[in-house]
Structure 1
């Protein structure tokens, strides 16, 4: 495990987890959740270690800038810079540059989805897989699950709305596809996707709508709803057995889609 500051952009730290085995390795660049307001390398240390061990991939977690001090699109720009850096430095970590994917949980899944869009739009580093764990895909927060699971299930709907407000600030467009990927006009040409949702989660509908739109656009997509789970269960490995199942599912899909 190595902590590194990415050159060229002050404040972006990444943590690199290298699995046992012989290079070249596939790689997952992971963006943490926390509303683009909280969270960091340490909050996601345990699942990142587990994911690297199970998948056989190098896992790189990214400490992007956060709101409200750094509103949209700062986190997107940092995520983009981090992926470009990983691609450019692949040889240094025994990574195969053509076997890189992205993953994220919650708002980190938003960033992962957006980076796939931006890579397609700007002909950026080629990405072979995206794992989106209970993704926030629409800043409007209007889906029925925001009402059904508004309170009493861990994260509350009003908390999510507050995070969106801090992230977008007073001037950003909530319908911009790099903020709300569900509102992108075209989702074709994106890498294969694993979209994970939790049963008792305000953002469940938005994640499942995004998976449906990916599939309709011809993107190979697996939608996996974890019954009985709540938002952020990826971080509950010491408490919930289903967290282990989730990490294994990500690992399996990564091995398939990032195979040599």
Structure 2
């Protein structure tokens, strides 16, 4: 059962003095005091807990407690998932393992950026998924999110182009957004060079990358570019409000906490006021109509859960075909852990179903 997402109310009962004598002399009993209780954070499912425990065992420190350089060098949830696989003797899915990769550099908005092209088994030409990784626009890279891209390529039988982008604080907002748009344009224009079919193209992004994917879809609409047939946003950054129910519930969650999000904001933006930019504050945009069919995937134990759910409602209200699901018992970063976390396999299947339907396969 999901935890109560709004603040619970604790009622105190007053003691009634029945003695007539005391009633004549005693000070009137004060009115009952209503206290606001903090909602308890949900407990992770056993498989998710095993990954979080391994992350701690590997020496991960809470995001926001170290410098950018130290944080980038630290173990990641992906490292923990791989370690759990080794501990349990779990082998990668054969179809996933068969996906081939090619690394290259392409023009970004201000210099070259890395991409990795994932090609599934088959002859092609293949549909294309442009994928953007997470990391708060500060940490992580293509390698960190390798499992997500491989799983999508294998499941959707599509080429996945995982595009990196400039990171903050070296490159402040909107550098990553500009690079994401440049990467999408390059993929459309050069799809034939890697056996891709640009008439069947979609977007996927996780966390900060989910925000990038959403913005690329908006840019494609506004600039009359080749339109993506679908987008899958996995626990996207979609708002600026850090007082939502999920932020309150999961303020101290691993691996993403409220402190971590505040740390990302401090590194990404020149000033906190920039978080109100419509590219960040998607839930308050008034121009969401005309976007492709959208699937939004959220984790229960995640500060970003509420804004993902709100974004889904806003998109539906704008007439966008939208489905959203929050997976219980899992945390931010669960999506790429299909080999060890059952909910991650379910979420990957949901994403793949969205993509294959859009591609007409």
**TM-score (normalised: structure 1):** 0.95
Structure 1 SS opposite 2:276: coil
**How many residues were matched structurally?**
260
CA distance in 1, matches of 2:286, 2:328: 30
Structure 1 SS opposite 2:219: helix
The aligned counterpart of 2:153 is 52
Runs of at least 5 residues in structure 1 that lack an aligned partner in the other structure = none
CA distance in 1, matches of 2:325, 2:354: 12
Query: Structure 1: which 4+ aligned runs deviate by more than 6 Å?
Result: none
Instruction: Say whether the 8 Å CA contact 1:139–1:164 is kept in structure 2.
Output: no
Compared with structure 1, are the counterparts of its residues 171 and 232 closer, same or farther at alpha carbon in structure 2 (3 Å cutoff)?
A: closer
Instruction: Say whether the 8 Å CA contact 2:298–2:325 is kept in structure 1.
Output: yes
| TM-superposition CA deviations, 1:52-89 (whole Å, max 9, x none) | 11110110111100101111110000000000000000
Structure 1 SS opposite 2:246: helix
Deviates more, 1:227-236 or 1:237-246: 237-246
Structure 1 SS opposite 2:128: strand
1:172-191 matches, within 5 Å, as 173-191=274-292
| TM-superposition CA deviations, 1:191-217 (whole Å, max 9, x none) | 100100111111100000001111111
Match of 1:138 among 235, 239, 243: 239
Instruction: Say whether the 8 Å CA contact 1:99–1:258 is kept in structure 2.
Output: yes
Instruction: Say whether the 8 Å CA contact 1:140–1:174 is kept in structure 2.
Output: no
The aligned counterpart of 1:84 is 185
1:1-260 matches, within 5 Å, as 1-7=101-107, 9-170=110-271, 173-259=274-360
**TM-score (normalised: structure 2):** 0.69
CA distance in 2, matches of 1:30, 1:201: 21
| TM-superposition CA deviations, 1:111-135 (whole Å, max 9, x none) | 1111111211222231111100011
CA distance in 1, matches of 2:116, 2:186: 13
Runs of at least 5 residues in structure 2 that lack an aligned partner in the other structure = 1-100
Tell me: higher relative CO, structure 1 or 2? Use CA pairs within 8 A at least 6 residues apart.
1
**RMSD over equivalenced CA pairs, Å:** 1.5
